[in-house]
Structure 1
Amino acid sequence: MSTYGEFFEKSVKMGMDPVGSVIASIKSIYQLPDESQNEMKLELIKHSFQYHYTHNALYNKICEEKGVTLTNLQSIEDVTLIPTIGIGKFKDVNAHLLLTKPIYEVEHELRSTGTSGIPSISRRDEQTLTRSVLSIFSMFREMFGFFGGAAIYLAPSAEEMPEMGLVKLINMFSGLLDSNRFFISGHAFDPEAVIQQLRDWQHVHTRHIIGPPFLVERLAAYIEEHRIDIQLDKQSQVITLGGWRSFTGREINRLEFYEQIAQVFGVRQGQVRDMFGLVETNFMAIECEHHAKHVPPWVHFSIRNLDKLEQEVAHGEPGRLVVYDPTSLSYPGFIMTDDLVYADSNPCPCGRKGQVVNYMYRIKGAEVGCCAINLEKFMSDRDAKITQCPIG
């Protein structure tokens, strides 16, 4: 057994959560060489696999049909043998059958709806939810570093849309800030109100803007059109999440977006940062100041050949993303996504080791859907109704 394996076994015997211990050690783990990170991730994934193999009858049957047991997992390369769950299964009417934990232990449901209108539902028990909160806050602290300031949230409040994953995630920033305000209400957006709030907070707080790219872009376009002078602060962050494709199919050019936002708000491009995550998982991959999207060191990304999904692509080649998230106890966190990504093989100037991923787009034929697209469609439908001419 490896040193990490011994540590995890001792932690469990002492009543400690080894996954939580790793999450709490994020800064030092990011400095470990890739070989050490992979050894640690392998032990976490093995423990997670064995838990679901033992306690989830449906998953056990799938594993037995594929002839996969714990003994097959000897190196990080072997995790590709672990049976995965297609992300579309979370939209299925029988999605509850994915659960390893009994339904009465589910503490929270998170939802994301795509163009089909059918919600993807991910259910979390108490410990999974605790790990999820730890995971996200540790990444926020590690990658953004702030503990104070004020945020403009370009999103509805959790009171308006409590089950939307994007809203829930944005709301989590509040615990790290001194003040915040939401600026989408009734699916309406008033950029003048945002500009006034930014002016009110000037010289009072370090000001941050957080929201999906389409709304940040919309705010920037309004400021440019009306030639308004808004200069953010030296430590301000403009943080995006929720996807780069409009519900109409238009793709926002990421590099042009970074340049535009930096110019409009008077910040460096390294202060404009994006996050990537899935409602069905418990992590966020977050860009550093060099726009390298760092995978949390306890999560493993496998990038697969589109024609032969059991095979990984060569490093740097695009492929279908498979996520191995060992934080999930509610259901197996081994998920085949509909996202096309590629790994960045260059060492990041920020000094963090581990996996760096570049998101491209949804694979052809996959449903276009995320919280941001859904929100944009709601807002577009509302605007259309307001501008319609009544008949009669």
Structure 2
Amino acid sequence: MEYFIRNLSDPDVLVPGKNLSALQDLWASSDPYEYDDELFVKAVKQCLSWHIEKNDFYKDWMQKNNFSVDSLNDISDIAKIPFLHANFYKTHVIKTVKDEDIAITLTSSGTTGQKSQMFFDNWTIFASDKSADMESYKLGMITDEPTNFLLYSYEPAEGVNVGTLRTRQMMRRYAKENELVYALKYTGKGHEFDLFGCIDALLRFEKEGLPVRLLGFPAFLYFTLEKMEDMGYPPLKLNPKSLVMMGGGWKGFVDKQLSPQEFRAYIKERLGLPESCCHESYGAVEHGVAYMDCNNHHFHIPAYSRVLIRDVRTLEVLPYGKPGFLNVISPINTGVPVVSLLLGDLAVLHEGKSCGCGINALWFEILGRAGTTKNRSCAIAAAELLRK
């Protein structure tokens, strides 16, 4: 299935600077969950130096925090890197590369409200796609079988550039597409949730018998299946090679939210799919690295990033098993300085061997959002469509 995965030989995936060779080497790794700490630190140092040299804001930020790239000697030193909160990018436009070097711009929410703008040059697009490709391949999620897709995400349209839309589009490459249906239809003025179109698609897909891929916001799938149950439809029996990959959370529907375990049980009840077919992804447009749960439903941290957990009061780094803010670190983005990013999610970090799935990389679990905020995420923007 190698032809589904973008390769380092592609003409548009060269790093943008000659002093970024370690990034190229890091993304050339054959196993996405095998750590090379020395290479990772080297790549982080090169990426930091790249941004500091070309970005006055980031240079000042490092100086104000008395940080020197030379202080990074081993993997434990990455905790020293001054982080920025993801919300910072909702109110500031910070670019390291020139406008003509920006290939795409993605946002973290719908058309209104606060939203991050993330700028991707060709290298960053490749690196983001490559991380997802390699993880999906390792987890056995790539197939060449004809497959029907129901995307619980936005139908593409001019001017619609939310990060989740591109993520779901990218995941279409992981199977041979037979038919594609969007849950959030573009009307010319915005998007509307096509509930009955989703019901029709599921009934049709069951009858056809091909594997089905359901990708996107879990609340939309839940409300589809709930409506079918209310209408008296019996449980469906989808092809056992089907895949449910949800992401984006239940923001806007906390009162209806199911735990991951409850959601998987509901999928089994209503679609006839075992837990092994039901997965979840985690990510942030400000970060760019994909996290997909393993067969034990844990988010293992790939070789392209590292995760720290910080105390909610002191922001000091916490040991395994202690809850705190999620701090993600990666040299993935050469267009915007997001090397060390503090997210608004509360999480717990675990040793890899504690999972038991066969992947030894560290893993984390998401406990939920910290506090309340008026910032609108992709899921909140989408959830508003359910109320129309």
State the TM bucket, normalised to the shorter chain.
0.7 to 0.9
2:132 aligns to what?
136
- Kindly tell me: are residues 16 and 71 of structure 1, through their superposed partners in 2, closer, same or farther at Cα, counting changes over 3 Å? closer
Residues 156-186 of structure 1: per-residue CA shift (max 9 Å, x gap): 2112763121112111122223232212224
CA–CA distance in 1 between the matches of 2:150 and 2:321? 36
1:172 aligns to what?
170
Structure 2 residue matching 1:151: 3-state secondary structure: strand
Letter paired with 1:133: D
CA–CA distance in 1 between the matches of 2:293 and 2:285? 18
CA–CA distance in 2 between the matches of 1:308 and 1:115? 35
CA–CA distance in 2 between the matches of 1:321 and 1:286? 16
Letter paired with 1:112: S
1:62 aligns to what?
61
Structure 2 residue matching 1:283: 3-state secondary structure: coil
Matched, 1:323 2:328: yes
1:200 aligns to what?
204
- Kindly tell me: are residues 19 and 223 of structure 1, through their superposed partners in 2, closer, same or farther at Cα, counting changes over 3 Å? farther
Structure 1 residue matching 2:154: 3-state secondary structure: coil
Q: What displacement does 1:191 show?
A: 4.0
Letter paired with 2:287: T
Q: What displacement does 1:236 show?
A: 1.1
Of Structure 1 and Structure 2, which has the larger fraction of its residues in helix?
1
Letter paired with 2:23: V
Of 204-213 and 360-369, deviating more is 360-369
Matched, 1:257 2:257: no
CA–CA distance in 2 between the matches of 1:363 and 1:314? 19
CA–CA distance in 1 between the matches of 2:135 and 2:375? 27
Q: What displacement does 1:67 show?
A: 1.9
Identity across matched positions, percent: 20
Of 103-112 and 311-320, deviating more is 103-112
Describe how 1:269-348 pairs up with structure 2 within 5 A: 269-309=275-315, 311-333=316-338, 334-345=340-351, 347=353, 348=355
2:85 aligns to what?
86
Letter paired with 1:278: A
Residues 308-350 of structure 1: per-residue CA shift (max 9 Å, x gap): 11x1112111110111121110122221111111112352322
CA–CA distance in 2 between the matches of 1:25 and 1:88? 31
Say if 2:219 and 2:257, in contact at 8 Å, map to a contact too: no
- Kindly tell me: are residues 376 and 63 of structure 1, through their superposed partners in 2, closer, same or farther at Cα, counting changes over 3 Å? same
TM-score relative to the length of structure 1: 0.84
1:360 aligns to what?
367
Letter paired with 2:314: K
Structure 2 residue matching 1:154: 3-state secondary structure: strand
Matched, 1:117 2:121: no
- Kindly tell me: are residues 23 and 233 of structure 1, through their superposed partners in 2, closer, same or farther at Cα, counting changes over 3 Å? farther
- Kindly tell me: are residues 115 and 313 of structure 1, through their superposed partners in 2, closer, same or farther at Cα, counting changes over 3 Å? farther
Say if 2:349 and 2:363, in contact at 8 Å, map to a contact too: yes
Matched, 1:101 2:97: yes
Q: What displacement does 1:115 show?
A: 11
Say if 2:26 and 2:40, in contact at 8 Å, map to a contact too: no
Q: What displacement does 1:144 show?
A: 4.4
Say if 1:12 and 1:18, in contact at 8 Å, map to a contact too: no
Q: What displacement does 1:250 show?
A: 5.2
CA–CA distance in 2 between the matches of 1:116 and 1:362? 21
- Kindly tell me: are residues 308 and 13 of structure 1, through their superposed partners in 2, closer, same or farther at Cα, counting changes over 3 Å? closer
What is the aligned length? 362
- Name stretches of at least 5 consecutive residues in structure 2 with no aligned partner: 1-14
1:214 aligns to what?
219
CA–CA distance in 1 between the matches of 2:368 and 2:44? 27
CA–CA distance in 2 between the matches of 1:67 and 1:136? 35
Say if 2:308 and 2:349, in contact at 8 Å, map to a contact too: no
Q: What displacement does 1:269 show?
A: 1.2
Letter paired with 2:220: L
2:3 aligns to what?
none
Of 363-372 and 59-68, deviating more is 363-372
Structure 1 residue matching 2:262: 3-state secondary structure: helix
